Amino acid sequence: MQKTRKHLELLAPAKNADFGIEAINHGADAVYIGGPAFGARAKAPNTVQDIARLVQHAHRFHAEVFVALNTIFHDNELEGVRQLVHQLYDSGVDALIVQDMGLLELDLPPIQLHASTQTDIRTVEKAQFLDQVGFSQIVLARELDIATVKKIADATAANLEYFIHGALCVAFSGQCFISHAHTGRSANRGECSQECRLPYTLEDQKGRIIGKNKHYLSMKDNDQSANLRALIAAGVSSFKIEGRYKDLPYVKNATAHYRQLLDEILKEMPEYAKSSAGHATYTFTPQPEKTFNRSSTDYFANGRQADIGAFDTPKFAGEELGKVRKVGKDFIDVATDIELHNGDGVCFFDVHKELVGLRVNTVQALDKYTYRLFPNEMPADIRNNTQLYRNRDHAFMRLLEKDSASRKIAIDAAFYETPDGFALTLTDEQGFSATSQCSAEKQLANDVEKAETSLRENLAKLGNTDFIARDIGLELTQPWFLPASTVNQLRRDAVEQLVDIRTLAYERPLLRAAAEPPAIYPQDSLSYLANVYNQKARDFYHKHGVKLIASAYEANEELDEVPVMITKHCLRFSHGLCPKEAKGVIGVQGTVTAEPMTLISGNDRYTLKFDCKPCEMHVMGKVRKHILQMPPPQPIAFFDKRPA
C-alpha cells in the first residue's frame, strides 16, 4: 500500500530493535531507528542485522521501519554512507530520514526518502522545494503553527510529518551550533552536548540581573494530544513521537496513548484509514504524564505562548503530590490525595532550587489524605511545607516493565463443505485471504449444539499467531461431527498460508521521482546555516540554481561571532518585555526593536539578539580555538559487494 494523506501514521521512536518491536506491539504504524552510523542520535546505534530483525517484525503488520541517516556528511564519509544505504535497503528498510542533500547525488537503491526536521522546514517555499526534489515525506519544524501547516499542505503533495510528543529542542532543528562551537560535538553530527539544558544567569542591556541559575534555554515537553484533529484537518498524516534516547516504559506509554487517541479519531472520520494492520490491547491505562516529561506545552501550534519554558529544571519532576506536614528522624509525612506505593520515587526542590530525588522504601497510610514515607536515605534539607512531587509511580512502572500489549490482526473465518470434505477460508481485515481444504468422511453429530460449539471454539483457537477471530461463519447443510484434530489442522494450514500471502503482498514504499527540469531553490546563495559539508551537497544545490555556497559551521570557517543558536523561543517575551506586545499597550510608533540581553554560564557570556520581524532570538557566539585544531572525520567502511 502506498500511503497518502488519508492514511494516518503513528510514528514511534526505537532506541534499538527490541524497543522498536515493542512500539509496533503497542500500536505504532511505523518506527524510526538509527543505523550503525550517521544518525542524529550518535549514542543510539544499531547493526544492520538488528534493523533487519525489526523490519521482519514490523512487516508482519504491514508497519514500516525508517532509518534516521540525518547527519551531515564529510566528503571522507560519502562512500561509507553509500555502502550503508545499500545494506539498509537489502535488509528491507522502508525509508531513510535524511538531512544532507549530498545523499541525493549518490548512487543509491530505490529507497524512499524523507526530509528530516534538520532540513529546517518552516516556510512554504522550503517545503515546496523539498516536495519537488524527491522526498515522499517531510518532517515539519516543531515551531510551526497549525495555520502555516495548512498553507504548506495546500502547496505540496508529499506526506507531512509533525512532532506530537516528547522533548523540544529550543533551536530550530539544524540551526544550533553552540555544542560544536564549545565542545566540537556537533548537533548536526549527532553529538549534541545539550548546552540548552544548563543553568544560566540572564542580564538586560544595562547589566541588571533578571534571573539567576535558571534553565533559560530549556523547553517543556511537547504534547499535541488536544490538537490531533486540527493537525489532521491541516494536512498532517504522520504523527511523530520523539525519543530515541528514551527508556522502554516511555515508548510503550506514549505509543499506547496516541494509538488510542488516533483510533478514536479514525472511528469518527471514516474518510481516513490506518496505515498498518492489527489492533493493540494493553494491560495498563496509558498516562503519558507518568513517564519522563518536563511538564507539557503544545509549543507554537496555536500561536506564541509565554509559558513554554522548563526554566526551573530540565529533569523530570513528575506529578505534584502535596506538601510536607512533618519530618521525622527516618520518615516524611505528606498531605496528598494521590495513592502512594512502596518503591515510589519522589523529589523536591531544595534551598538551592535544585531538584533532589529519593526512593521510598515503605509507605504507610496515616489517614485518607496523609501518607508516611520511609525513604532509603533521608535528605538533609527537607522541611515542613516543602512541595513534593512523584517522578516514579512504582506500581505503574511495574506494569510497563512486563509484557504490556498484544497486537492482533482481525480475521473472518468461513467454514464450509466441499464435495469430498471441508474447507476453511480466512480473510483478514485488509482483505487478504487464504483457504485450506481436507478430505473427510461426513458424519452426523449426535449432539448438534455441542458439535457446533466445539467447531467454533476450535476454529477460534489462534493462540500465539498474529490473528484474532472477528467472525466465524458456518456454511453447512447438516450438523456434522468433525474430530478436533481435523479442524485444528485446517486452521493451522490456513493461518500458515495467510502469513505467506501477507508477506508476499507487502509493498515497500516507492522512491519518488524528482521534478524535471530540476526545481529552483528559493535563494541563490547559502550561508553556513544551510549545513553544506561536502562536495556532493554543493553539486546538488548548484544543480538547483544556487550560485554562492558557504561551508557548514562544522567546517570551522566561521571564525567571527555569529548566531550559534536560532530559536523562536524569546526570553524578552517570556519576561513580559516584548516590544511588539508593548506597542499595542503604550502606543510605541515606528520600527519595533528589542534591546539585546546577555546569558551567562560560568565565564561564558552570550549576547542575545532579537529579530522582531520573524520573531526570532539569536544566541551569538564563536568557535573556540581548540576546536579549530580538531582533525576532520575519518572514513567509515561498510562491507559492500557492489562496485563503487
Give residue-wise pLDDT tens across range 228-241: 999 999 999 999 99
Distance (Å, rounded) from C-alpha 54 to C-alpha 136? 22
Cell of 426: 480466512
What band does 381 get if pLDDT is binned at 50, 70 and 90?
Answer: confident
Task: Identify whether 517 is preceded by a cis peptide bond (ω within 30 of 0).
Answer: yes
Give residue-wise pLDDT tens across range 470-484: 999 999 999 999 999
Residue 472: the pLDDT is 97
Cell of 311: 526554566
Nearest to 50 by CA among 19, 96, 8, 83: 19
Residue 403: the pLDDT is 97
Residue 322: the pLDDT is 96
- Unique residue bearing C-alpha cell 473472518: 412
Distance (Å, rounded) from C-alpha 169 to C-alpha 141? 10
Distance (Å, rounded) from C-alpha 175 to C-alpha 558? 14
Please tell me the least confidently modeled range out of 562-566, 570-574, 585-589, 620-624: 585-589
Q: Quick check: 370 pLDDT over 70?
A: yes
Torsion of CA 634, 640, 642, 643, to 10 degrees: 30
What type of residue is 450? Answer: K
Give residue-wise pLDDT tens across range 384-420: 999 999 999 999 999 999 999 999 999 999 999 999 9
Q: Quick check: 588 pLDDT over 80?
A: no
**Helices assigned H by DSSP within 220-273:** 228-234, 248-268
Q: Quick check: 640 pLDDT over 60?
A: no
187 burial via Cβ count (<10 Å: 0-12, 13-18, 19+)? buried
Q: Quick check: 584 pLDDT over 70?
A: no
What band does 587 get if pLDDT is binned at 50, 70 and 90?
Answer: very low
Name residue 89's beta-bridge partners.
none
Nearest to 239 by CA among 403, 28, 542: 28
Residue 544 vs residues 288, 514, 517, 518, 521: alpha-carbon distances, Å? 44, 11, 9, 6, 6
Average pLDDT taken over every residue of the chain: 95
What band does 581 get if pLDDT is binned at 50, 70 and 90?
Answer: confident
Residue 99 vs residues 104, 351, 533, 551, 609: alpha-carbon distances, Å? 10, 44, 11, 15, 27
What's the average model confidence in pLDDT over 50-68? 98
Residue 380: the pLDDT is 87
Residue 643: the pLDDT is 44
Residue 590: the pLDDT is 44
Q: Quick check: 323 pLDDT over 60?
A: yes
DSSP for 531-555?
A: ---SHHHHHHHHHTT--EEPPPGGG
Q: What percent of the chain is helix, strand and coil (3-state, nearest 5)?
A: 30, 30, 45
Q: Quick check: 589 pLDDT over 70?
A: no
What's the average model confidence in pLDDT over 553-576? 96
User: 43 Cβ partners below 8 Å, 6+ apart?
Assistant: 245
Residue 615: the pLDDT is 94
User: 621 Cβ partners below 8 Å, 6+ apart?
Assistant: 178, 181, 182, 561, 562, 564, 565, 606
Residue 639: the pLDDT is 64
pLDDT cut 90: percent of the chain above it:
93
Residue 583: the pLDDT is 59
What's the average model confidence in pLDDT over 113-140? 98
